[in-house]
Structure 1
Amino acid sequence: MHEDVSPGTGSADQPGSQEPEILPLSEVARFHGHLCPGVALGYLAAKIAIRKLRPDRDMDGQLVAIVENGGCSLNAIQAAAGCTMGKGNLIIRNHGKNVYTFINKATNDAVRLSVKDRETDEDPVFKALMTRAVEGTASPEDMQELQSRMKQQVDAMLAEPPETHFDIRHVTVEIPKKSHLATSVKCSKCGEMVAESRARVQNGSFVCIPCFDEHTRGR
């Protein structure tokens, strides 16, 4: 992705303009399965993008999101911003960074949001509880305390303006090309259909990626 910081303010919020609609957080949490700081972060990122880029709600797929992590925020962005893998307007580049770039394809405006360094605000007890939960060593009391602290963290995030949590830059980004519908071919190994653009050629025949990898590992 080619990026250059734009010198101006781009399509910042217009004074007096009507606040754009966004899916309620409760619906986003229902889509994800629960409410957690990662979901809240993705929701706030989507909220900023919609405010600043003003995509046309009737133009599905106009807003594109490039997300540089594979965490819970992805589901919030899919639900709140309408950027999904299936439509091709959600691009995941998992660099392990809480960085989100949104592009309005109709206007070529784009914003890049990167989470601010707020380590002084981190709760060491929360981190320890989360570690135990991930490792599978958390007790029922640990999980109850984790849920309580998670709610406190989410409430604190939502009590502040969304812009508090991100460094926001208007950028110039090369808009990703929309993928074309591909014809399907039959894998000569397993017999299953695969998109031709994702198939590999082996001994003059098409094979799917799993079969190709299996053959390669067998060498």
Structure 2
Amino acid sequence: MKVKKIAEVRSKYKEPVGPDEMKKNRSIIEVEEEYLDGLDKIEDYEYLQILFYFHKSEGYDLISKRRKGSERGLFTSRSPRRPTPIGITTVELLKREGNKLHVYGLDAIDGTPVIDIKPYASFMDQPTLSLQKKTPRYRINKLIRYQNLHDLLLKTGELHGHYCPFLALGVLAAADALKRLAAENDGMEDLLAVVESNSCFSDGIQYVAGTTFGNNSLIYRDFGKTAVTFVKRENSSEALRYYLKDPDFIEREYPEAAELFKKVIAERRGSKKEQQKMKELWQEIAFEIIEADPDKYFKIEENAEIELPDYAPIFADAECSKCGERLMAAKAVQKDDKVLCRDCAESSYYQLDGSGIVEK
């Protein structure tokens, strides 16, 4: 069997450290000149799979203790000490400069020989796609089961649009609660989350717990508190309530970020540079928060008392006699013997916005 070196890794890490640490940094893969043509159009791909040789690995044990957990067989681990010491990692391609590929997420040290580069293709490389068709939250449930809050926060950021401390707190609370309750949400109103404010915190709850307004399992109580109660209908006496113990911890522990928040968000007078700096600090703090135990931030009340709403009713339809649009009959207005929507009737209604629930 012949294995050829096609490239070499350039990294700030000269000796092995934890792969989680290395994956947080950028690396460069220098491809040898004779293979340069093989990089043609590689910029079309956002992610690459890198196969590399553990050149400092010596020997192996078929049974060994894992970094986290009990002893297991070698082929159930990611250990570099293997009979054929080859590693594989999916990385993000940041840019190409000639024979240099700038990547993020590579857990290989400086000087590591690279033996192959392949484009990452989700339809070929994700074995969970068929499972996800059957169970839409398959991947999220798996992240919760293994308490991989780093990846949960990454995914939640896709919904929320940015990373911030209160988004991370929502992720932290929801992941902990679902693990304690042994709950997996199928969107059928059997798991409920009762939030007490409409802030970034609530988006962390929605994504991780799968409780949303659309599936009628996110209940909003306009109390203005950073708090949430999780409950399964089948075990309503085992509800868990999470309340942020110290709402001022950011001002005390991260004064620079707090000052920028005040200027950029509260007062809306920050420059673009200050806005970018705030986002960077917010992101840094968010990923620190999810490394902590939930008890650090939350007062967690077990067997919390909670009044559960009924399952969402199915309303009959009605048609507005003025605009012709259909609506829930329960929301229609009778005016001069006509059925009208609230807009056409110029009737008052309730709106949930940044101020909470307001009457319009």
TM-score range, shorter chain: 0.7 to 0.9
Q: 2:243 aligns to what?
A: 114
1:66-145 map, 5 Å? 66-108=194-236, 109-117=238-246, 119=248, 121-122=250-251, 123-134=254-265, 135-145=267-277
Residue 172 of structure 2 is aligned to residue 44 of structure 1:
yes
Larger radius of gyration: 2
Higher RCO (CA 8 Å, separation ≥ 6 residues):
1
Gap runs ≥5 in structure 2: 1-143, 350-360
Query: Aligned pair in 2 of structure 1 residues 150, 180: CA closer, same or farther (>3 Å)?
Result: same
Q: Compare 161-170 and 50-59 and name the one that shifted more.
A: 50-59
Question: Are 2:229 and 2:242, in contact at CA under 8 Å, matched by a contact in 1?
Answer: yes
TM-score w.r.t. structure 1 length?
0.80
Does residue 158 of the first structure (1) align with residue 290 of the second (2)?
yes
Q: Which residue of 2 aligns with 1:169?
A: 301
1:147-198 Cα deviation digits (max 9, x unpaired): 2321232133122112211111121222211112111111123221110111
Please state if 1:148 is matched with 2:280.
yes
Q: Does 1:187 align with 2:320?
A: yes
- TM-score (structure 2 length as normaliser): 0.50
Select 2:163's aligned residue among 12, 35, 38: 35
Map Cα deviations across residues 107-164 of structure 1 (whole Å, 9 max, x no partner): 2121111101252552343233112222432113212321232123213312211221
| Partner SS, residue 114 of structure 1 | strand
Aligned length in residues: 198
2:187–2:217 CA contact under 8 A, matched in 1: no
Question: In 2, are the aligned partners of 1:66 and 1:92 still within 8 Å (CA)?
Answer: yes
Query: Is the Cα contact below 8 Å between 1:65 and 1:83 reproduced in 2?
Result: yes
Select the structure that is richer in helix. 1
Q: Give, in whole Å, the separation in 2 of the partners of 1:74 and 1:60.
A: 19
* Corresponding residue of 2:10: none
For residues 207 and 146 of structure 2, the distance between their equivalents in structure 1, rounded to whole angstroms, comes to: 13
CA contact (8 A) 1:55 1:62 kept: no
Which residue number corresponds to residue 20 of structure 1? 145
Identity of matched residues, %? 29
The 10-residue stretch of structure 1 (20-29 or 140-149) with the greater mean CA deviation from structure 2: 20-29
Aligned CA RMSD, in angstroms, stands at 2.4
Partner SS for 1:189 = coil
Task: Encode CA deviations 1:21-55: one digit per residue, 9 max, x unaligned.
Answer: 56722111122222111210110111121022222
Aligned to 2:333: 200
| Paired AA for residue 40 in structure 1 | A
Unaligned runs of 5+ in 1: 1-18
Query: Is contact 2:145–2:179 with CA below 8 Å preserved after alignment?
Result: yes
Decide whether the 8 Å contact of 2:171 with 2:208 is kept in 1. yes
Local SS of the residue matching 1:213: coil
The aligned amino acid for 1:24 is L
8 Å CA contact 2:185, 2:191 repeated in 1: no
Conserved in 1, the CA contact under 8 Å of 2:166 and 2:200? yes
Higher strand fraction: Structure 1 or Structure 2? 2
Q: Which amino acid aligns with 1:125?
A: E
Structure 2 letter corresponding to 1:192: E
